[in-house]
Structure 1
């Protein structure tokens, strides 16, 4: 009896959360984006939802969804965190290629920039929480369940040309970023070019990632400025959380 009540409560809570999501959808931006970027057969299913105020600086790039198309599977400004208010400063500028390989969530007040030659890919249930920033000039790939906390930033460029003042050598401005599956990055994590993380990697709050961490193996905790190995045999309890996570976040 108690289990039945728990299941009913879970279903009711999930339904209530989904109603809140639909109520907060910015339908003008949602309809504009879907029917401008997808063929009619896909657009009418409304796979991308926008919540709250957002500026489309440019959406001239290529948007691709790989996998089964479902309504609201990609949420920009989705309200899934503790804070409830939008500042209204969300902005997207997509000039290159943006690929989704399943359900993806962006928190409130995000900034997304994909340069003309940039390729950015989000795995199933990847996410960027509120006030996150992503700038892709070359290549950024987030694996399945690669989830980043609030105020995180992922940038595959240092923006300005740097040189060796003795030899005059010009350093490369961009390098790919590859984030493994089932990665959990806490708040205020910065990921710079040339970062590679293994599967089941946890990144401590306020860390700066800027190198290849895959040699540490899976189920590791890294952190610091710059991030270094801290501990192995540690991971977010994905198996324990996945069902509740999917119920709560999938619209």
Structure 2
């Protein structure tokens, strides 16, 4: 009973339809054996391709500048594995290709209006905070040839306890170690090997070492 009351209060605060959220939750639990809470404006394709160990909330969290009519779309043709409780913000777009894998650790969130377009591999560690209007993209979709061109790995790897600021773009071949902070509006591409760093700019580089964040 307490769980239902808590869900009702959360829905009321975030302009979510309690009846719709609760009904879809029961369907997801009964048919798919998954605890996934969906805002009424969430379209989720490929729920069978999602492996969740705890609870996933999509479009339920309160963000002051989002409206109840804002749409969220997830197209999961590949594999999405979320190891713990996780929140996906309203207005997000997920497109996971047929042969792609996205793995997300325990805890953390991705905030509203962010895009995850993965055709190969994305891994996000535990307790990562991803702000609004971010983009993760591991595919060029078009080919540009030139002399001396070097092939870039297609995967993206985000460590544990990483904070990614608003408007950040993360492209293929990127590795961000544990404890790092990515400054807002940065364009990140490449391998960073030092933990607990402030990274920012276009192209992104290390701005400060030995930082801590909460």
* Band of TM-score, shorter chain: 0.7 to 0.9
Q: Select the residue among 139, 148, 156 that pairs with 2:121.
A: 139
Q: Structure 1 residues 17, 195: CA separation in 2 closer, same or farther (over 3 Å shift)? A: farther
In structure 2, runs of 5+ residues without a counterpart are: none
1:157 Cα offset (Å)? 1.1
TM-score (norm 1): 0.73
1:213 aligns with 2:201: no
TM-score (norm 2): 0.85
Query: How far apart in 2 are the matches of 1:86 and 1:236?
Result: 32
1:32 Cα offset (Å)? 4.7
Q: 1:117 aligns to what?
A: 99
Kindly indicate which of the two structures has a greater share of residues assigned to strand: 2
Q: Select the residue among 104, 112, 129 that pairs with 2:111.
A: 129
Paired residues, what number?
205
1:231 aligns with 2:208: yes
Any residues of structure 2 matched to 1:140-219 within 5 Å, and which? 140-164=122-146, 166=147, 175-214=154-193, 217-219=194-196
Kindly indicate which of the two structures has a greater share of residues assigned to helix: 1
Any residues of structure 2 matched to 1:50-69 within 5 Å, and which? 50-56=38-44, 58-59=45-46, 62-66=49-53, 69=54
Query: How far apart in 2 are the matches of 1:139 and 1:171?
Result: 16
Larger Rg over CA atoms: 1
- Aligned-CA RMSD value: 2.5
In structure 1, runs of 5+ residues without a counterpart are: 1-14, 238-251
Contact 2:11/2:60 (<8 A) preserved: no
